[in-house]
Structure 1
């Protein structure tokens, strides 16, 4: 199993390539209601399917991940994106991916 490095909530750590959002949450002792947000270059993905390997999603290419809880204060501009709230309210696929706010396309 390959391992890669990523930043999760500001901490740089190794992640197994086939890791799931649920496994990552458990390993880092994050609350069950925290959504996994992945940042891949100019894309942002909100992971909805907790038991699917991240490597099978756009989120698997991310270099930066955040766990975001409902009603928590925004820690940065990215986590305040309205698209995240909309994706969490009505998930329609395994993940919701959108263009990163603030980047000219």
Structure 2
């Protein structure tokens, strides 16, 4: 269902599905997700993916969510400097300009 929904435009363009059928796909997907939701964690755990493969701070087997989340944020290149990568090119010149009112 999710594959059909993700590519619904292609199905509509090819004439495989019509507007009414597309609406049914959306509704069926929503209903199925509501049914699966209570078991989502158990279903994902059943696949036994490694923490490395999932690369998720909040879905780790050791349950240490907060420390993992902090470590992932610290390793992110956007957090390598206090200002961030956009400072020199975009924000710095914009915020530090000596603009005067034209009034």
**Which range, TM-score by smaller chain?**
under 0.3
TM-score scaled by structure 1? 0.23
Normalized per residue, the structure richer in strand is 1
Bigger-Rg structure (1/2): 2
